[in-house]
Structure 1
Amino acid sequence: MPLVETLPVGADTAQWEVWGTTARVVTVVADKSGEAAALVRAELAAVDEACSRFREDSELSVACRSGRPVVVSPLLAMLVGAALTAARETSGDVDPTVGAAMCGLGYDRDFAALTGRPAAPAVRVFGSPSVRVFDSPDWRSVRLRGRELTVPDGVLLDLGATAKAVAADRAAARVFRELGVGVLVALGGDIATAGPAPDGGWRVLVQDGPEDPSCTVRLPGGAALATSSTVSRTWGRPGELLHHIVDPRTGRSASRVWRTVSVAAASCLRANTLTTAAIVRGQRAPALLGNAPSRLVTPALNVVRRGGWPA
């Protein structure tokens, strides 16, 4: 996953494990990483309480169990709204109603606990024996009117494709707003920045694994970068190797046309929406990405660059 290649002179950093990945906070000003990390941790905790599908007590879990309109917090309404917008903008390629499909594939707990564990024999939701699953769940079946959220009976939402990116955007903005320092927040492959960048910009090494081709990009302050991968979050079950990006049309892990897709954008949410949709679209990804600065790596480790992405 992308990493800050070198720390700018005077910069400070903190990192920890969260959501089955590594959170990293880099501040331009020395001795600010501790305060910045505390703000980021608080932001991530709030997002987790709002929309984790691995917590029985999250707001999202309660809404999914209710089957009727529920008034939710402004944070959850914003997170669901972001997911539905991503679905609309990608014609359903990034669809938050794939939660039951994810559980059916075995991704029914935090990824750190999932690795190496075979899929569950049936769809399970927070200890319940089973749920009825729509044959073809669709994001348009979810209703959000202001803060009133209606999730149809049998639909399990998974906001993972967008909520982590939103969390990165919100956390970076909060650090800059409250501490007044330039900051980079990285949550695995989702990177958001806010405030002034170091001289020459944030130097980010884009490389999914040691065997993958690498590239260094410079992000100006306020820019974001996301990388989606079909090889980083994988787990096995008899006869197949699965990954976490689901094609909503099949309910299966998307075909591995691309090993990774990286996109730079004005927000991490926008960047992640494009990278996730590109993985799902496969060969049709270049048309989706258009002129967005993007980098696609094939399973043979060939690199396709678009939109002025540097060599």
Structure 2
Amino acid sequence: MPLVETLPVGADTAQWSVWGTVARVVVTDPAATDDAAAVVREELAAVDLACSRFRADSELRQVTPGRAVEVSPLLAELVAAALRAARETGGDVDPTVGAALCGLGYDRDFAAITGRRVAPAVRVFAAPDWRAVRLRDGYLSVPLGVLLDLGATAKAVAADRCAARVSERLGVGAMVALGGDIATAGPGPDGGWRVLVQDKPGDPSHAVRLPPGSAIATSSTASRTWGHLHHILDPRTGLPAPRVWRTVTVAAGSCLRANTLTTAAIVRGRRASSLLRGVPSRLVTPELDVVRLGGWPS
């Protein structure tokens, strides 16, 4: 996952483990750090309760397939973001892959499956058409047999929401990193927000500066793996996308947009360059060669 360059953690930074990754919040006023962390924790707890597929009490788990169910504004926002990502990528990022992920063994919080040395027996589920999911006027309808997984977009939406709320409530500039999803809001420090883009120790690294209000996301086929599998599925096959790219990083105006493009690029593989044309992007091959597109700095 990308690492925020303001390490070791200083007075302007708080971090903790969440969702099998690290949450980190950095603010322009060190006096606001504790309050900013509280805002982010509150927001992440709300998102988790709304859409986790690993919690029996989550709102998403209470949605009855085959009928229209009224949902909270937060869950409606998260589902709408997932459907928008599917529409914008022609289905490369698809929230109906939940059953496929479960069939591959990703059926609990990632921290609980990390220790698996051998993948479980694989059951293949091609994702249903995402267009069969309906969200209208606060009512969500999921077809029978469909299990929604919002993991491809919900973390990015959460990063955007957290950064915006910290800035709005506390009147400071904020950068919020949830693993590879990083969003900023409000005024930035002199020279912009410093971010070190690197997936794992030993991988190629690159320090960049984000302008205030921008975001960056990285998707990886080397992180969140178990056995020989990784978590980014090609919805057309229900199986992990081929490892054409080890990581893809994109800078954009929102973390949701950046994450949508990085995930779709992993799925598209060798066709990723057409998707990322004109977008600042950094792609790393399994051999650790770096490809820069769209004006990504050298």
> Taking structure 1 as the reference length, what is the TM-score of the superposition?
0.92
Query: What is the match of residue 42 of structure 2?
Result: 42
CA contact (8 A) 1:134 1:154 kept: no
Q: 1:134 to 1:246 in 2, by over 3 A?
A: closer
3-state SS of the aligned residue for 1:283? helix
CA distance in 1, matches of 2:135, 2:6: 43
Which amino acid counterpart does residue 78 of structure 2 have in structure 1?
L
3-state SS of the aligned residue for 1:308? coil
RMSD of aligned C-alpha atoms?
A: 1.7
CA distance in 2, matches of 1:299, 1:134: 26
Where do 1:79-118 residues align within 5 Å? 79-117=78-116, 118=118
Task: Report the Cα offset of residue 31 of structure 1.
Answer: 2.1
CA distance in 2, matches of 1:156, 1:169: 25
Give runs of ≥4 in structure 1 deviating > 4 Å: 118-123, 133-136
Q: 1:270 to 1:24 in 2, by over 3 A?
A: same
Structure 1 counterpart of 2:250, from 263, 275, 285: 263
CA distance in 2, matches of 1:37, 1:6: 16
Q: 1:73 to 1:204 in 2, by over 3 A?
A: same
CA distance in 2, matches of 1:274, 1:24: 22
Is 1:164–2:155 an aligned residue pair? yes
Task: Report the Cα offset of residue 66 of structure 1.
Answer: 3.7
Q: Deviations over 1:106-153 (max 9, x none)?
A: 000000111123555587xxxxxxxxx975511011011121100011
Is 1:137–2:124 an aligned residue pair? no
Which amino acid counterpart does residue 151 of structure 2 have in structure 1?
G
3-state SS of the aligned residue for 1:32? helix
> Taking structure 2 as the reference length, what is the TM-score of the superposition?
0.96
Which amino acid counterpart does residue 302 of structure 1 have in structure 2?
D
Query: What is the match of residue 291 of structure 1?
Result: 278
CA contact (8 A) 2:103 2:125 kept: no
Q: Deviations over 1:70-90 (max 9, x none)?
A: 000000011000000000000
Task: Report the Cα offset of residue 67 of structure 1.
Answer: 2.4
Q: How many residues align?
A: 296
